[in-house]
Amino acid sequence: MDFSLNDDHVALRDAVQRFCDGEYPAHQRGNLETPELAATRWAGMAELGLLGLPFDPELGGSGQSAIELMLVAQELGRSLGGGAWLSSVVLAGQLLAKAGTPAQCSRWLPALASGDLRLALAFGEADSRYDLSRVATAARTVNGVCRIDGRKTLVLDGDTADVFFVVARSAGATREPHGLTIFAIDAKARGVHVRPFATLDGRHAAHVDFDGVEVGADAIVGTAGEALPLLESAVDGAAAALCAEAAGAMEALLDLTAEHLKTRKQFGAPLAKFQVLQHRVADMLIALEQVKSMACAAAMAVDAGDAPQRRRIVSAAKSLVGQLGRQVGLAAIQLHGAMGMTDECRAGHYAKRLLVINQLFGDAAHHLQRLSAQPQC
């Protein structure tokens, strides 16, 4: 086992940190992004190489692993930044890189890496909760033409995506593991309706309806009818990155809280002098260290590529991080007093992101159940 960072890791981390410090001024962190601001930041991330990080060099990327993604996610978490990075690069981009045909990869990945194109994975549905196999969206193929009908919910950054990877059922009954196929569908294709909305943590998502959208067999990403394992590994990869984001967010939040406790005076003393608050902070720090460790473990498990082990560790990480992140977020509000409940104070924005992190890609209870259903390694 080795949890240490090499020089390249440190250089990457520092570069992302500098970028975030510039792009996400402290008093704006967590605010809803305007389209202009989002575009500038996206271009900046492209320039820094973050949008191609996990892809092969011949596709415009730098071929990095989940460890590097973790380091980046942690810095983005610290600044509540990153926009569509997680949804477009980590989730949809990696799915494509793993399963796409050479033609598909070279069509979309270089454009993604250069910041000219965004992808989004549309997998959730109104009834699916966190169950990836619960797909009602239907794909019927007649004479080589696939017709997609269905409604996808909570497509992260679905409002700005150029291409959707849509999980549809081409065979079998809802919840069956087989029969799922992923289709690449242009956001401008006929029959695609995007309904954008803001999320609790000041980000963007959309519900997307596919009404009789027609695509050819060349739109299939991966193996027809066998998309579930691919989908699962992509979602696990994103869940691992979210754990790292939570670690970064918690770290920044603790710094903010420490600053507050040292400067806010009540009863003639800084709040930091009250032992009960010191103990609260100690517990928050212990939580942070555990979250960091689990984020590292999750990233390594994603890289290792052994599916049962990946499931076990990602579930353990996501479940723990979901709980601890939310706890720390809410505790930080408490330590800020009424100030912490205001929109102006950043503590609440971190708390919101941490709350949302638990609700994405399976919450603590879901991953607890998935873990308990796993064979022991």
Partner 1 sequence: MKLEFSAADEAFRREVRAFVSANLPADIKRKVELGLRLEHEDYVTWFRKLESRGWITPGWPVEHGGPGWNHVQRYIFDEETLLGGAPRIIASGIQMLGPVLIAFGTEAQKKRYLPNIRHSSTWWAQGFSEPGAGSDLAAVRTTAVKGTDADGEHFIVNGHKVWTSYAQWCSMMFALVRTDPTAKAQEGISFLLIDMKSPGVELRPIRMLEGGTDLNEVYLDNVRVPAENLVGELNKGWSYGKYLLGHERTGIAGIGSCKQQLARARTLAEQQGLGDDPLLRSRLAQFDIELMALEFTALRLLSANQKSRVPAVEASMLKVRGTELRQAIYELLVDIAGPNAVPFSAEAQFLDCVGDLPAPVELGTLAANCLDSRKLSIYGGANEVQRNLIAKAFLAA
Contacts of 88 (CB under 8 A, 6+ apart): 51, 112, 118, 119, 120, 157, 161
Helix axes 275-304, 66-78, angle to 10 degrees: 150
Name the one range near ligand FAD by CB under 6 A: 117-125, 182-190, 271-279, 298-306.
271-279
Q: Which residues of 280-308 are buried (b: 16+ CB within 10 A; e: fewer)?
A: bbeebeebbeebbebbbbbbbbbbeeeee
Nearer to ligand FAD, 338 or 373 (CB): 338
The least distance separating ligand FAD from the CB of residue 278, rounded to whole angstroms, comes to 10
Would you count residue 331 as binding ligand FAD (CB under 6 A)?
Answer: no
Distance of CA 337 to the CA centre of its chain: 30
Per-residue contact track with partner 1, 325 to 354, x per CB under 8 A?
-x---x--xx--xx-xxxxx---x--xx--
Residue 154 interaction partner, one of ligand FAD, partner 1, none, beta carbon < 5-8 Å per kind: partner 1
- Rounded to whole angstroms, the Cα distance separating 289 from 82 reads 23
Are the CB atoms for 17 and 50 separated by under 8 Å?
Answer: no
Q: Among 213, 335, 347, 357, indicate the residue that binds ligand FAD (CB under 6 A).
A: 335
Per-residue contact track with partner 1, 196 to 215, x per CB under 8 A?
-xxxx----x-x--------
The least distance separating partner 1 from the CB of residue 343, rounded to whole angstroms, comes to 4
Please, which residues bridge with residue 141 across strands? 146
The least distance separating ligand FAD from the CB of residue 262, rounded to whole angstroms, comes to 12
Would you count residue 334 as binding ligand FAD (CB under 6 A)?
Answer: yes
- Sign of the four-CA dihedral 45, 51, 57, 59: negative
Residue 265 in tokens: 């005076």
The least distance separating partner 1 from the CB of residue 203, rounded to whole angstroms, comes to 9
Contacts of 320 (CB under 8 A, 6+ apart): 290, 291, 294, 364
Ranges within 114-153 binding partner 1 (CB under 8 A): 124, 127, 129-130, 153
Are the CB atoms for 250 and 354 separated by under 8 Å?
Answer: yes
Are the CB atoms for 105 and 147 separated by under 8 Å?
Answer: no
Would you count residue 287 as binding partner 1 (CB under 8 A)?
Answer: no
* Shortest-Cβ-distance residue relative to ligand FAD: 337
- Residue 115: what residue type? G
Nearer to ligand FAD, 167 or 328 (CB): 328
The least distance separating partner 1 from the CB of residue 192, rounded to whole angstroms, comes to 17
Contact positions vs partner 1 (CB under 8 A): 124, 127, 129-130, 153-154, 195, 197-200, 205, 207, 265-268, 274, 276-277, 326, 330, 333-334, 337-338, 340-344, 348, 351-352, 355-356, 359-360, 363-365, 368-369
Contact positions vs ligand FAD (CB under 6 A): 264, 266-267, 271, 274, 276-277, 334-335, 337-338, 341
